Amino acid sequence: MGTRGYIVHRYRDMYLIKYNHHDSYPEVLGVETLDTIRYPNAITSKRRQLGEILDKLDDQYESDEDDDFGVKLSKHRPANDLFIEWIYEIDLDRNIFHINGIPFFDLECLPDTAAFLEYVSGDHYGHTTCPPTCPPEQKYKRPAPPIVDDFEVATYQSLVCTGTEVALSDLLAISDVLSPDEHVRVSLLETMIGQCMARPDVAAIIQDLWLVPGPRQLTDDFWLTAFSMANITFLPQMFDSGVIFHPAPAREEFTWVRKDTVLYISTHLDNERCLNASLSRLINVILEQKDNAGDYFGVAFSIFHCAVVRVVKDAHSMTFSHTTALEFLPSFYADSPSTPGITALARLGYRIDPELFVRATEIFRRPGAGGNERHTDDGTPLAQGADNVSPTIGCPMLPPELWQEVALNLHLPDLLTFGLVSKSCRELASMVLRYPHICGYRLVTIAKEKPERMMNGYLYLRVSCFSTKRAGIPATVLVGMGSDRWGPGSRIGIDIPFCYPHTTIHVRVSAEVQPQAAAKEKALTSLEMEIKMRALRVQHDSRHELPKLPGV
């Protein structure tokens, strides 16, 4: 009886909001709102009525409080909260009937009451979303693709294209079959995208992005939402609340996410001419790198689709090839978190990055250290130390595979310090950093056995389970779910580097160490770590003063 909600009319980008203090669920207020727009000429009549109201007001007018009838006028779209459970919006600007900020029906072809109540149901991420069973004539309409002028595709048409539907494996000259490491990267990205989609505010932004007429109409909120999802895979794969700090991006038309990879946020990539225009823009930006020959990659991204272009430059020529527009975002009614676009970007982000170690030190804050600057134990900023490591020195007493074993058995803070010892150590540390690290756990493989509750309610769309190691100790880590039923596991979490304003997407992470492994971890004393680090020091020329390593 106390279910509260809003009836909203949008016209000329203004919102007339009426509060309803009870019975706001679909069977009552939803049907009543739908009925107000069913009668002949209802849309025209509502537009005229609201137009007369707006014509009498100043363009800057906005009422902060409800009037005597519980109505207010706002430039800002209302959102659901703990007190407002249902919002029914009649969008007269775009001829759409929205429910809780999600587009549902075409105002020109509304369903009957029985069908309306059937369609107002939950999707696989827990939102009220227009289902695939809604007939196309009744479902809201997406705007037509923007008109693309000839000059916008001139570069695409004038240069030598060696392939327009190239498989990503051919584009990157890698195997069609994913390696175990790539499977881990793909699964983690799928989970993070699923966690974003499970947020009601993010889901509403995603749905609104589908209605954006073209790239020029992308607001900052739209751009940040799209950029955040694409950029996850290009960041150093280190995630830990309070320890890892991924900087917020500044909006730019083109963002170099790596020295050889540029990202462009666009729309309508499923339209061939719009896709070619986006690829043209990316190629133009890459061509501006006049003095640097080599292979470059560009990513056109719209949340719903992505495309990857490879540009090969040498002193005398330039060629390019690209994938088709690949589906990126899963459907809200998906039965699998996998899409070709997620796999493509995860594999693109997995390529060897010569700057990975420096980038990793820039986002790491040693636990217990004050401020945002990361330092070595002697006070040198960690990022600065990463740029000034000692020259590679021969290590005759230990073969490279044992040095690699040392790197694989270090805690993440010690691994970053280890990389400051020499360039060879830095290379080994970079190799280890290509694995994703969640709360200090290095994700090794996708776990073969998963908890049964992952399969309940489509949780597997936003939860993943990994076999991991931390300082050589094996464990099972569940990303996206706590460990209440896993016995004596620790409960930790990460913040997804998602930059939509006022949104923090915190994800619970649980870790379970097997009893025998836990005993081994306890036995790894500071003395053993000291012996291991002293063995490392012995291999280096005494003329070089090495930074003191933690625990030594």
More confident residue, 369 or 226: 226
- 207-266 per-position pLDDT tens digit: 999 999 999 999 999 999 999 999 999 999 999 988 999 888 889 999 999 999 999 999
Query: Domain check: are 216 and 343 in the same one?
Result: yes
Q: Identify which of 275, 20, 318, 316 has the alpha carbon closest to the alpha carbon of residue 152.
A: 275
Domain boundary among 412, 438, 464: 438
CB 45 within 8 A of CB 124: no
What residue type is assigned to position 213 of the chain? P
The per-residue pLDDT for 282 is 97
d(CA 21, CA 3): 7
Query: Domain check: are 52 and 109 in the same one?
Result: yes
Query: Domain check: are 342 and 406 in the same one?
Result: no
The per-residue pLDDT for 492 is 80
The per-residue pLDDT for 179 is 95
Query: How much is the CA Rg of the chain, to the nearest whole Å?
Result: 27
Question: Which tokens belong to 224?
Answer: 């940040």
Q: How far is CA 110 from the centre of its chain?
A: 34
With respect to residue 90, please indicate whether it lies within any of the assigned structural domains: yes
Angle at 78 between CA 123 and CA 248, to 5 degrees: 80
Query: Domain check: are 181 and 326 in the same one?
Result: yes
Strands (E), 80-139: 86-91, 96-99, 102-106
The per-residue pLDDT for 536 is 54
Provide the residue range defining the domain that includes 416: 352-365+399-438
Distances in Å between the Cα of 81 and the Cα atoms of 87, 91, 100, 200, 208 are: 10, 21, 10, 10, 19
Collapsed DSSP state (helix, strand, coil) of residue 547: coil
Percentage of the chain surpassing pLDDT 90? 67
Q: Give the mean pLDDT of the chain.
A: 86
Query: Domain check: are 94 and 160 in the same one?
Result: no
Query: Domain check: are 298 and 359 in the same one?
Result: no
Give the count of domains, the chain: 3
Percentage of the chain surpassing pLDDT 70? 82
Which H or E run contains 466? strand 464-470
Query: Domain check: are 356 and 250 in the same one?
Result: no
d(CA 148, CA 125): 35
The per-residue pLDDT for 525 is 45
Residues 6+ apart with CB under 8 A from 26: 86, 99, 116, 117, 120
With respect to residue 536, please indicate whether it lies within any of the assigned structural domains: no
Q: How far is CA 150 from the centre of its chain?
A: 33
Query: Domain check: are 130 and 160 in the same one?
Result: no
**pLDDT confidence band for 381 (50 / 70 / 90):** very low
Judging by DSSP bridges, how do beta strands 238-239 and 437-438 pair with one another?
Answer: parallel
Query: Domain check: are 228 and 112 in the same one?
Result: no
pLDDT at 375 over 90: no
With respect to residue 515, please indicate whether it lies within any of the assigned structural domains: no
Q: Identify which of 286, 291, 294 has the alpha carbon closest to the alpha carbon of residue 264.
A: 286
d(CA 416, CA 397): 23
Tokens 């978190």 found at: 337
The per-residue pLDDT for 293 is 83
pLDDT at 47 over 70: yes
Going by the DSSP 8-state scheme, the letter that residue 145 receives in this structure is: P
Domain boundary among 96, 112, 138: 138
d(CA 177, CA 180): 10
With respect to residue 256, please indicate whether it lies within any of the assigned structural domains: yes
d(CA 157, CA 150): 10
With respect to residue 33, please indicate whether it lies within any of the assigned structural domains: yes
Query: Domain check: are 108 and 173 in the same one?
Result: no
Counting beta carbons within 10 angstroms of the beta carbon of residue 486, is it exposed (0 to 12), middle (13 to 18) or buried (19 or more)?
A: middle
With respect to residue 547, please indicate whether it lies within any of the assigned structural domains: no
Query: Domain check: are 124 and 160 in the same one?
Result: no
Query: Domain check: are 191 and 274 in the same one?
Result: yes
- 490-547 per-position pLDDT tens digit: 558 999 988 766 667 899 999 888 665 555 555 444 444 554 555 455 444 433 443 4
Q: Identify which of 222, 187, 543 has the alpha carbon closest to the alpha carbon of residue 391.
A: 543
d(CA 473, CA 208): 45
- 440-487 per-position pLDDT tens digit: 999 999 999 888 888 888 999 999 999 999 988 999 999 998 765 444
With respect to residue 63, please indicate whether it lies within any of the assigned structural domains: yes
The per-residue pLDDT for 482 is 76
With respect to residue 512, please indicate whether it lies within any of the assigned structural domains: no
Domain boundary among 384, 414, 438: 438
